[in-house]
Amino acid sequence: MKTKALSFRIEEDTYNYLADLADKSKQPMSEVVREILENNQMTEGTRKAYGECLSYLASVEADDFLVGLDALVEAIKEVKTNG
């Protein structure tokens, strides 16, 4: 993938918000911004499904995480196959 540099100014509150997200996710701030931009390009249905997947994974107990992840993968495969 060919990339280009982009520079822009943001307010201090926005910078602090992005820095906090980067710190919590242990990712560089540039990656956090990329993910936000990618999320904004999703269709409404994709965004809703993505949010539901994250909510589901957040609700799974640590002991059951892999089982929950397997179930989620199977559901995604079914949606991809059957629409």
Q: Report, as an integer, the average pLDDT of 37-64.
A: 81
Task: Answer yes or no: is 75 within a domain.
Answer: yes
Residues 25 and 50 in one domain: no
Give 4 or 42, the one with higher predicted confidence: 4
Q: Is the pLDDT of residue 68 over 70?
A: yes
d(CA 1, CA 17): 28
Q: Report, as an integer, the average pLDDT of 8-25.
A: 92
Q: Which domain does 63 fall in, by range?
A: 44-82
Task: Answer yes or no: is 3 within a domain.
Answer: no
d(CA 14, CA 9): 10
Which pLDDT band, with edges at 50, 70 and 90, does 83 fall under?
low
Structure tokens at 33: 């911004």
Residues 28 and 55 in one domain: no
Q: Report, as an integer, the average pLDDT of 3-16.
A: 90
Task: Answer yes or no: is 66 within a domain.
Answer: yes
Task: Answer yes or no: is 5 within a domain.
Answer: no
